Amino acid sequence: MKNDMPIRCVVVDDEPLATKLLAQYVSKTPGLELKMKTTRANEALKRVQEGNVDLIFLDIQMPQMNGIELMKVVGKNCHVVLTTAYPEYALEGFEHDVIDYLLKPITYDRFLVAVNKIKERFHKEPVIFTEAPQYIFIKSGHRIQRIMFSSIFYIEALRDYIAFHTDEGKMLSLENMRNMEEVLPATIFTRIHKSFIINKSKIEFIEKWKIIINKQYLPVGETYRKKLIAELNI
């Protein structure tokens, strides 16, 4: 394959949110082209058999036909990156010469590591992504708004919305916290409570399991404390 030709990808996962997330990752990554996203293994198989597919991002645990079974049917027709929440399947996957194995929840940073391996396999030379995008697009009202990571203080879960607290004010979106936790880079953001995700670089100080950011006191939930301590090297 020529280096200037995009790698044509199919995303298949029986969880619609996981399918949507990986499809977003593929669409915003240079050198990859999304040909299909589906929650049905038989639809992905049909598309591969029709041709024009180079790579499948393939979930393992699916009804009717699981990822390992689909991979055996596909054979050498295209390459595979496995995605799953179950690390015990990794060995079997690599026995079938998969390019990489992505453990859910999949961050964009980790996805880019797989992309480097994909590029090396296809083009026989490494392509290093030295810097991931430093922004996110969200739907706010009737507008698609770009927000720079550096401008975000923290994200707050409200009843029907989430609020992005930024240096330009508060923006509301119909996104959900789980999706934000998966999409935002873990090197910059961390979840400290069921209702809060913070930008770690914005922490002013921590006092009695409350984090102070932009003069706001945000609680750290008990289930998140150990993880926070490890991330901040306290």
CATH of domain 135-231: 2.40.50.1020
The answer to whether residue 96 scores a pLDDT higher than 90 is no
The reported pLDDT for the residue numbered 164 is: 96
Cβ neighbour number for residue 191 with a 10 Å cutoff? 22
Report, in angstroms and rounded to the nearest whole number, the Rg of the chain calculated over CA atoms: 20
pLDDT in tens, 104-157: 889 999 999 999 888 888 876 444 444 556 888 888 888 888 899 999 999 999
Q: Where in the chain is CATH 2.40.50.1020?
A: 135-231
In DSSP terms, 115 is beta-bridged to: none
Q: Please provide the DSSP assignment of 10-51 as one string.
A: EEE-SSHHHHHHHHHHHHTSTTEEEEEEES-HHHHHHHHHHS
The answer to whether residue 10 scores a pLDDT higher than 80 is yes
pLDDT in tens, 172-228: 998 889 888 888 888 899 999 999 999 999 999 999 999 999 999 999 999 999 989
DSSP H helices in 82-212: 90-95, 108-123, 177-183
Mean pLDDT score of the chain, rounded to an integer? Answer: 85
The reported pLDDT for the residue numbered 205 is: 92
Q: What percent of the chain has pLDDT over 90?
A: 44
The reported pLDDT for the residue numbered 90 is: 54
The answer to whether residue 74 scores a pLDDT higher than 80 is no
The reported pLDDT for the residue numbered 225 is: 92
| Mean predicted confidence (pLDDT) in 87-98 | 61
Cβ neighbour number for residue 194 with a 10 Å cutoff? 11
- Whether the model pTM is above 0.85: no
Choose between 116 and 66: higher pLDDT: 116
Q: Where in the chain is CATH 3.40.50.2300?
A: 7-123
The reported pLDDT for the residue numbered 130 is: 46
- CATH classification of 7-123 is 3.10.310.10, yes or no? no
pLDDT confidence band for 41 (50 / 70 / 90): confident
Check: CB of residue 216 under 8 Å from CB of residue 204.
no
